[in-house]
Structure 1
Amino acid sequence: MKLFFSPASPYVRKVMVVASELGLADRIEKLPSAASPIKADQTIVVHNPTGKVPTLVTDDGLALFDSRVICEYIDSIDGKQRIFPAAGPARWNALREQAIGDGLLDAALLARYEGFMRPEELRWDAWMTGQLTKIDVSLAAIETIAGEFGDRIDIGTITIGCALHYLDFRFADRPWRDGNPKTAAWFERFSQRPSMTASSPFTA
């Protein structure tokens, strides 16, 4: 399998954490890319019309994109569905948590683009405030359920873990741990997993 990636992308990291947890990371060839919200990398566009990372090309030549799709594909390879619960309440709970984590990441990336990539004279303060508010509300929602995570490893906890680490990476000036003690305690343990340390953008 080949993965178009950027080491700083939290969505790429999500894919690699899933692959690592399943023991499949060494089957993925990582292809560096120049993905950008402003100018698409044409080597990606050939496989993914949005030009975004992550984009996975399977051994059969099928192009898959969006981290949610790629992660579920990787989880299906051995037929055991260890990361995506197969059915019932456990599946819907994991998918709901994935949606919370992805929503936090979406807001964080939009805030990052607004504050870092957009020319200063074109920046919209109300837009930035709106995205940062989404981050804070998402953190509050995670805090209400973090005490139930325990040592569970599924697409929900993986996505939330990657989202929290992205806040450390790009928003270190906004100490999210303040007011979220249950989330902070869980993340302290989760962030030490080999799958997380191996994929950290701090060491990429």
Structure 2
Amino acid sequence: MKQLSNVEFMLLQIIAESNPASGYDINKLIDQRGYREWANIGTTSIYAGLKKLNNKGFIESEVSGEKSGKGPLPIRFYITEVGMTALRDEIIVVLSSSRERDNRFDLGLAALPFIGKEAAIEALRKRLDYLEEALKNIKQKYESQGSTRLPLHVRVLFLHPIHLIESEQVFVSKIISELMEEAKGHV
């Protein structure tokens, strides 16, 4: 079976959880859970993903008879049996084998000798600032959503990136220290 895109994977999860889910419900959960911050999901990719899932037979849609306010009747999305099987298969594959790393950062680390120690230290200090800001934003969103009162499957959406960022902060600080030691030795 072909792997689902990140958008399709996320949409299937939300639809399976809400079953049915309207576009409004989907967007609300995406915002509440912070998917936009770490999954790079925009509104147009949501609707394109829903269309792809529908074409694959993973979801079905119907116009809801319930209307609140102006505008067209909302469309409700339901996960199919085939969609639930695809979702379960994808969860097993992702949990058992996916890597969570930014390969471009790794490439930058491999190229440290080409920029000099001072430039490397400055760039890595900026990365620490960036990581600190990202950590602060995720923690604020986590707290605003209810933190420890959230169900486990929602808490881990926040706790995993928090722990990864904290670990990377330690790693980057160690590289900076080693670069500073090397710079002292070559003065």
Q: Provide the TM-score with structure 2 as the length reference.
A: 0.38
Q: Give the structure with the higher percent helix.
A: 2
TM-score by length of 1: 0.36
**Bigger radius of gyration, 1 or 2?**
2
